Structure 1
Amino acid sequence: MTQKAKHHPVTEQRNEKSQHLDRLNVQEIVTLINEEDQTVALKVKDALPQITAAIEAVVEVMTRGGRLFYIGAGTSGRLGILDASECPPTFGVSPELVNGIIAGGEVAIRSAVENAEDDSEEGARTLAAMVQPGDVVVGIAASGTTPYVIGAMREANRLGIPTVGISCNQNAPLSAEVKYPIEVAVGPEIVTGSTRLKAGTAQKMVLNMISTTAMIRLGKVYGNLMVNMQATNQKLRERMVRIIRDATGADEESARRAGMEAGGDARIAILMIMFGIGSAPAEAALTQARGHFGEAVNLLSQSK
C-alpha cells in the first residue's frame, strides 16, 4: 500500500481479495461478491448501539409530529429516496412524513450528477428550504466526506434540528458534524471505490432499521402485521384480508366483509371484529389514539 493510499477512506482503498478480479470466471466473481456481502451484516451488528441511539432520537421527533429527512448524493441519495418512497404504501403514512433529498435534484435519481455532491453550500440551501423546527435529518455518505451532505448537516445543526450521520468509514468527517453518528466500517469494495456494493448494502440495511423501527414505535404495526398498509391493488387487497384474519381469527368471508365496511382500512376492520363495533367507533378510537393502533386497542379494551 502506498503512502498516498493510507490517506484515502477505507471504502476507496483496494481490496486484496479482488486484485485479480478481471481474471476470474463468473462463478468465482459471484462467489467473491457473496463472501464479501456476508461480512456486511456483521459490520452492521457492530454499529447497533449507534443505530439504536439514532433511532430513539428519530422516534422521539416523529412522536411529537416531526418529519424525517434523508439527504445524500449518488447511491446514498437514491437509497434515502427509496426508503422514503416505500413508507406510504407499507405503513399508510403521509408522503410528507419521510422525505428523501438527493444532490442534483430529481434528475439525479436516474442520471449521475457527480459534481453536485461537491457543493456544500447547495446542501445547506436545499435543506434549509425544506425542513422546519421539530424535524430530524439523516445524512448518508458512504465515504463520510461528501461536502453536500456535510453542508446540510451543518445547516441543520445551526437550525437546532437533530442530526444523524450514516457512513461506512471509521472516524468519518460526517460523524464529527452530527449528534448521532453511525459508522458501518464495511472495508474495501471488490471493485475499488464502488460503494454501491457493500457500502450501499450496509446503508440500505440501516435505513430499513430506521424507518421500520420508527413505524413500529408509532403504532403502524400490530404484532408483526402491516395493519396500516394501503390496499391499492388486488394483491394488496388480498393481503389486507389475510392481515384481518391473522389479527382476529375471523374466517375469510367475515374478514372480507369487514374490510369492505371499513373502506379498505385493515385497522378499522380489525377493531370492528375484535370489539364487535361499527366502523364509526373504531375510527373514532384510532383518531383518539392519534393513529397508534396498539393504543386504540387499549382504549377500546378499557371502555368495555
Structure 2
Amino acid sequence: MSAPAPIPPRVLTVAGSDSGGGAGIQADLKTMLALGTHGMSVLTAVTAQNSLGVQGAWELPADAVRAQYRSVVDDIGVQAVKTGMLSSAGLVDTVAELLAATGAPVVVDPVGVSKHGDALLAAEALDSVRTKLLPVATVATPNLDEVAQLTGVTVTDETGMRRAAAKILAFGPRWVVIKGGHLPGEAVDLLTDGDEEHWLRAPRLDNRHTHGTGCTLASAIACGLARGHDVPTAVRNAKEYVTGAIRAGFALGGGIGPVDHGWRARTAR
C-alpha cells in the first residue's frame, strides 16, 4: 500500500479575475503551481479584460468574499496569503479584518491601476488601504504609480525609492518592496524593513509583453513564505522567477501580452 502524497504548501490569493488570463487570480494560480505550492482563491471582482485593457469590472459582495475566505481557511488552512485587486473601501476593510485573524504571512499587492492605466481601486478606498490593509502586511509590493497614490511621493531615482519605502513602512507593513520597473535603466527593486536594505537588480529586458508582473511577483513571494523562507530569500527568489517570466513573455491579442508563468518547465525540456 503506497504512502499518501505529501501535502504541498498552501497559498491563498484574494484578488480579482482577469478574463484574458495574464494577471489577477489566473496569474496567481499559475505562479503557485509553477512554484510547487497548492493555490487557492477568493474572488473579489470579475473583470472583462484582454491584452488591450479592462473593458468592465464588477465587484463581488463582501459577504461572498467572506464566505469564500472562511471556506478555505477553516477547512484547508493556509500558510501564506496574497492580496490583489480590492476595488472598494468595503472590500479592503473586510479582507483586512479576515487577514488580521488568520495568523499567516500576508503579501499585499496594493493594486491601483492596471498595466494599461485602468483604475482598479476607488479613490475613497485609499485610506482603508493605508490604515487597515497595510498594517497587516508581512510584505507590501507597490509599484511607483501605487506609491504616488498612497503617499504622494513621485519617484524618479533610487534615492526617491528610499523615501517612498519609509513612507509606506510608516503605514505598518513589516517589509516593503518598492518596485522600480518604471524607472529607466536596469530593473531595480528595493526591499527594506527600515533597518535592512536589499537592492535587487536585473537587466532590463527588451520585451513589451509584461502583463501580470505585479501579481506574479507578489504571488511568488507568498509561495516562498509558505515554504518557510525568510522575507529576503522569498523576495530574491521571486525576483529571479519574474525576470525569467518576463524574458519569456509572449504576444497575445493586439496589445500587451503576458509573462510566461511556465517558463521554467519549458526551458527544462
Q: Which has the higher strand share?
A: 2
Report the TM-score, using the length of structure 1 for normalisation.
0.35
Q: Which has the higher helix share?
A: 1
